[in-house]
Structure 1
């Protein structure tokens, strides 16, 4: 079985795009999205409008993964037209290029490191560190990882996290974040004022709520799942962070299409230059990648991921805050 540098090198032949296929998937997804959004306003029956609204949210997810691949230079690299399309989409989806690329590149370089800034990642603390926190710090930490916070990723991760926080932290670097906020709020008010609350609900709220909640959960569960491994900075390595700390999320074919194969996340972290449409090909071609740690979108697996709160270095696994060992240590510290 390949491992380490040899495993990374084995993926390099796949890290090249088929330019025609990249354009086909990008433009077709955009067209489907525009048609679905239009149908939320113009479809003759309410049930059709609702179906179009849900479909819009799922298509935003697919387009976001395509956008994400472009930011990694995996597809349509050095295409000025693609740069314009993706910059517009980034503003539309509340993940402008300035903050998305900076935070996501950091995530790839520091994924699963215990003692690094939680930029582009959900924060992780050790069991002992958690118990030493103040009540306010514990609440803040648990709030960030709470299922409702992730469900409301539209507000928590995208509108506030990506746009508002980035602009307030560095206005000059993130003017596109301010632009995204202004355009989104202006469009929301305009649709509500001119077309009514139902149109706002179907055209804006439901698509963004679905897309952002799925996006926030995928980002969470792909690195917070039973069996995940975290390392201190000295023992960290790029290939181990991909294979031991990034999941293969098993999905039915339709959901794999809507998420543009991002479930093959261990391969993506091993080599981010592989286009999304080649990820299944890589997994089939390299047997070592078929031994990935898995999770899924089944309710029991979602529940299992949400139970994980802190890293226990002694047990070498993530545990919940109600685990027996955590309670025992808590009693020791109090004594």
Structure 2
């Protein structure tokens, strides 16, 4: 059985890019996205325009994964044409490359560390830390992890978190965040003026809303699922964080394609230089990768992920408010939190 560095080394042969495949996936996905967006405007029937709008949202997710792999230098490394395409797409999709790469690289290096897991990811606190928080601190923590925050990721995580917040914190370093906001405002105004409210809804709002909501949930569920493990400074290892704190999300072939195989997230965290199209092969050929902790897009599994709130060091698991109420005095938990397990 391979483990530790031996397992990481075993994945290196899959981290060899095929430029032809990379360009093929990139250009085909980009073309389909442009066709779908055109369909939201020019399709002869409203039903076809709605279908085109939904497909646009799904294709935004797929191209985002391609953009994500490019930022990891897994595909099209040092290619100037690809750099232009990915930079423009990142700004268009409200994911400025400057803030995305910095925060996401930190996430990979510190995945599942309790003391720094919230940079580039959703915050995690222990049960005792949560109970010692002020009401205001609890509210802030719960709002960030709330299902509605994830559902409305278009506004909460991308317009505000990725663009506005990064630019306000450091305007010089994140000028592309301002560019993303201005471009998006321009697209919104033009779509409303030239296409009308329905045209704006189908060509701008729905594709962005679907793409960002789905992207936000995938990012959440890949590291917040039943069985996930978090550690402090002691005992943390890179390979352990990949296999114990990153999920394999089971999907049907269509959704696997739309999400660019990001469901093989444990393998991606083990070696982020593996191109997205090589992840399934790595899992098929390395038995140790087939024992991953799993989740899915079924409603039961979605709820199982969303209800998790804090890390309990005693039981070594993420728990929700029901478990907290059973093991802690009710008075230490805010009554508003106890009213709904979905908070």
> How far apart in 2 are the matches of 1:255 and 1:194?
33
Match of 2:39 in 1: 39
Runs ≥4 residues deviating over 3 A: 325-328, 330-334
> How far apart in 2 are the matches of 1:169 and 1:67?
24
Q: CA deviation at 1:186?
A: 1.3
> How far apart in 2 are the matches of 1:117 and 1:45?
47
Match of 2:122 in 1: 122
CA deviation profile, 1:197-217 (whole Å, cap 9, x unmatched): 000000000000000000000
> How far apart in 2 are the matches of 1:333 and 1:307?
19
Q: CA deviation at 1:64?
A: 0.1
> How far apart in 2 are the matches of 1:231 and 1:84?
39
Structure 1, gaps ≥5 residues long: none
* 2:329 matches 1:330: yes
1:88 is paired with a residue whose SS is helix
Equivalent pair of 2:65/2:259 in contact (CA under 8 Å): yes
> How far apart in 2 are the matches of 1:126 and 1:63?
35
2:321 is paired with a residue whose SS is coil
Match of 1:26 in 2: 26
Equivalent pair of 2:111/2:117 in contact (CA under 8 Å): no
Match of 2:243 in 1: 243
Q: CA deviation at 1:117?
A: 5.6
Equivalent pair of 1:15/1:273 in contact (CA under 8 Å): yes
> How far apart in 1 are the matches of 2:194 and 2:259?
33
> How far apart in 2 are the matches of 1:263 and 1:88?
25
Equivalent pair of 2:312/2:318 in contact (CA under 8 Å): yes
Q: CA deviation at 1:172?
A: 0.5
> How far apart in 2 are the matches of 1:252 and 1:290?
17
> How far apart in 2 are the matches of 1:97 and 1:89?
9
Equivalent pair of 2:117/2:124 in contact (CA under 8 Å): no
Match of 1:99 in 2: 99
Match of 2:270 in 1: 270
> How far apart in 1 are the matches of 2:242 and 2:327?
33
Match of 1:281 in 2: 281
Equivalent pair of 1:127/1:326 in contact (CA under 8 Å): no
Q: Pairwise mapping of residues 225-240 of structure 1 onto structure 2 (< 5 A)? A: 225-240=225-240
Match of 1:131 in 2: 131
Q: CA deviation at 1:194?
A: 2.0
Q: CA deviation at 1:116?
A: 1.3
Give the length in aligned residue pairs: 333
CA deviation profile, 1:150-175 (whole Å, cap 9, x unmatched): 00010111111100010011111000
RMSD: 1.1
Q: TM-score scaled to structure 2, two decimals?
A: 0.95
Equivalent pair of 1:242/1:269 in contact (CA under 8 Å): yes
Q: CA deviation at 1:236?
A: 0.9
Q: TM-score scaled to structure 1, two decimals?
A: 0.98
> How far apart in 2 are the matches of 1:257 and 1:137?
39
Structure 2, gaps ≥5 residues long: 334-343
